Amino acid sequence: MREVVHARGHENVSAEHGSTFEITTDDWLTPAGDCILAVEADRAPTAFADAFVDACRNRDATIRATLTATTDEGDTHTATIVGRGHPELSFENERSHVGRTSDYVDDRTVLVDADAAAADLDRDLVDALAAGADLRVELAVEPADGGMA
């Protein structure tokens, strides 16, 4: 099962945070937001299907975030971050999607134990986002039994 979010980069994207990455529905970004990869997301976690949310609430579920940045020139840069689910994931936030390398959960968290954070992303992808590239975020959950939900 998959959920897709579209957003866009911003001139203040630095992707320097070592333990999280974030996509926000906000239309602005200050330099202090060093985990934020994109703004103006067209969906918030509250918009995700109940079946997707339920599948993510299993510690043994694998959640993949595939990030694809597309520049105005048509160049694409892709990264995949793999994490897992957690029983306390609520998907109740109306603004932000946050992936975490830790197992901390709040209403913004969409995956935990991620194998990468903002600082780990390829700098070409980050540069494209800082130049305002469009970002497609595909979240895919694989249930504990190994089949795609």
* pLDDT for res 146: 57
* pLDDT for res 148: 47
Whole-model pTM above 0.75?
A: yes
* pLDDT for res 39: 98
- All structural domains of the chain, each given as residue ranges with its CATH number in brackets, are 2-142 (2.60.120.630)
pLDDT beneath 70, residues of the chain: 145-149
Buried b (16+ CB within 10 A) or exposed e, 77-86: bebebbbbbb
> Do residues 65 and 141 touch, judged by C-beta distance below 8 A?
no
